Chains A and B, each alone.
Chain A
Amino acid sequence: MVSADYIKEVILAGLPCDYIDVQGDDGTHFNAVIVSAEFSGRNRVQRHQLVYQALGDRMRAEIHALGMKTLSPEEWAQQQG
C-alpha cells in the first residue's frame, strides 16, 4: 500500500521543495501542501503538472486522488503571517 511518507519521498526526489507535508492513510487518497521555488511565476495548472511529473506514471496510477495546495516560498511566507 502506498503511504503518505512514500509519496513525500517520491515528490522530493523529483522536485526541490522548501516544505512538504503529505497526509492520508487509506492508501489511495492523499492531501499535500507543497512549497517550492519552482512554483514562482507558474500558474496553478503548471504547478500541479510539476508535481504529477515528479510522481511519474506508476505512482499516478496507484494513487486515486492527491489533493494539492501548491505555494511559492513568497506565498508561503505571506500565509504564515
Chain B
Amino acid sequence: MSIQDTIRQTVTENPVVLFMKGSAQFPQCGFSGRAVQILKACGVNNFVTVDVLADAEIRQGIKDYASWPTIPQLYVNGEFLGGSDIMYEMYQSGELQEVLKDLAN
C-alpha cells in the first residue's frame, strides 16, 4: 500500500484525525499544541493523532496529500479542514464546534 493510500485509510476510518508534531500529551511544536487545545475546547477528546516526527514518509506524504505544506493538519470525516490558523478562526466563529458537534464526547 502506498503512503497516500495509508493516509487516505487513516483519515477515512477515523472521524477526527490530527497530523501533528509530537503527541496530544507532549506536542513538539506550539502550533500542534494549540490544535490539540482547540479540539479539546470543542469537546472532542477521542481524536486520533499521527506524529509526523516519527515517520519521515508520512511527514512528506501528508504535505502532498492535501497540497498543504505545514503541520498540523486536521481531517474530519476524511475531509481536510485546515491547519492551526484555520482551526482557530473556525473555533472563534463557532464553525468548528458546529462541524464537530456530533463527534464531541
Contact = CB atoms under 8 A, between A and B. Distances in A.
A23 to B, nearest CB: 14
Interface of B: 31, 66-70, 80-83, 85-86, 89-90
Contact of A44 (B31, B66, B89): B89
Contact of B67 (A44, A49, A65, A68): A49
Chain A interface mostly helix, strand, loop or mixed? helix
B78 to A, nearest CB: 14
Contacts of B80: 45
Interface residues of A, number: 11
A42 interface: no
A60 B90 CA distance: 24
A48 interface: yes
Interface of A: 44-45, 48-49, 52, 60, 65-69
A52 B69 contact: yes
A68 B85 contact: yes
Nearest to B90: A44
Nearest to B66: A45
Given A60-B69, A65-B31, A48 B85 contact: yes
A65 B86 CA distance: 14
B4 to A, nearest CB: 18
A67 B85 contact: yes
Nearest to B86: A44
A22 B69 CA distance: 19
B89 to A, nearest CB: 7
B91 to A, nearest CB: 12
18 contacts: A44-B82, A44-B89, A44-B90, A45-B66, A45-B68, A45-B81, A45-B82, A48-B68, A48-B82, A48-B86, A52-B68, A52-B69, A60-B69, A65-B70, A66-B70, A68-B85, A69-B85, A69-B89
